[in-house]
Amino acid sequence: MANGIERLVFIGMLFSIQNILMVQSQQQVPCLYVFGDSLFDNGNNNNLSTTARANYYPYGIDYGNGNEPTGRFTNGRNIVDYLAEFLGFEHPIPPFANATRDDIQNGVNYASGGAGILNNTGINLGERIPMNYQLINHRLTSLRLVNRQNLGKCLYIINVGSNDYINNYYLPGSQTSTQFTPGEFADILIQNYTAQLQTLYNLGARKIAVFSVGLIGCVLQMIKSHSPPTGSGCVDSINYAVILFNNKLKELVVQLNTQIRDATFTYIDSFAISTSGNLIARGVKVATAPCCMVSTITGQCAENPTKPLCNNRNEYVFFDNFHPTSIVISATAASAYNGLSPLIVNPINIHDLALAILPTKSLY
């Protein structure tokens, strides 16, 4: 792995946000449905009995009017917030936990911190909403829609899989890594993910963007807990395991696009985005420490910090030991929405997916 800032998770973005298409004044899709983990969660875990929540200071310090800990695992907006803005949505997509009947007509965010592809992923954190249960929640939502035919025109975005490694396979003391090789575990994840994507299709989804797992071997908490060899900035073995999964996920997207003719799946390569850009040009300088004081137990921001929060948050890669700052997140969203390289978006970016005209057939 490369050394320095360019080797870290989430950080090697295409940072030329000024080159992104202007934020759309007209909504590009009738609704946006979101699935995933803490990178997408905007409040679904707030009332759960879990350590994977972010509804307390200093999370949200730069959100809205300032100091609004809504449940987003960063200092400001998350990826979904930026994507919703790029797509022309007037308001952020609401969390399923408190979405009203009127809200759900424009979309719902089902993502849950600590969630994984597997149901038992993240059990060490407490309550969370695994991908299978997020799909159940979406089924409930679909039954409440005024116009269910819109489901095929809506956009579906998924970011899941990181916790299956962080809070399952590579969890200290976990037996999963002794039972399965990295390749075998990747196969298990893909088998389950395939069924989940098929379920989503059966529920009416036709425009689906799937984010890969990023460079989680370069996350501060993983470096701390797995002690990479001297001279290596990341835990290379973890990143290599992630590559196995991502390659299989990319193949799955190709397979689904071949087999399902009235839908389009696209692959957003978070791993490639993480190694493709130059943070230094954006003024980001700190890549080896979090912005907030972190809990020694959870690796997230401490609820009652005894040390001040960093003031120069736009110079930090990580807000806590797991999650990036909002400036890094904004660039991730920009690459996913407007990226042109097939190494990052394949076969198309989210902007083109939203505008794609697909063959239609009655869903109900």
- pLDDT tens for 132-142 read 999 999 999 99
Q: Among residues 11, 69, 62, which one has the least CA distance to residue 42?
A: 69
Q: How far apart, in whole angstroms, are the C-alpha atoms of residue 314 and residue 133? A: 35
- pLDDT tens for 251-310 read 999 999 999 999 999 999 998 887 766 455 567 788 899 999 999 999 999 999 999 999
Is the pLDDT at 360 greater than 90, yes or no?
A: no
In the 8-state DSSP scheme, what is residue 255? H
Query: Left if phi > 0, otherwise alpha if psi is -120 to 50, otherwise beta: which for 60?
Result: left
Q: How far apart, in whole angstroms, are the C-alpha atoms of residue 70 and residue 80? A: 14
- Could you check whether the bond before residue 347 is cis, i.e. omega within 30 degrees of 0? yes
pLDDT of residue 302: 97
Q: Among residues 98, 134, 140, which one has the least CA distance to residue 116?
A: 134
- β-strand pairing of 286-290 with 316-318: parallel
- pLDDT tens for 334-345 read 999 999 999 999
- pLDDT tens for 11-22 read 344 344 444 444
Distance separating the N- and C-terminal Cα atoms of the chain: 49
So which residues are the catalytic ones? Answer: 38, 320, 323
Q: Determine the residue type at 83.
A: L
Q: Which helix (H) or strand (E) holds 272?
A: helix 270-273
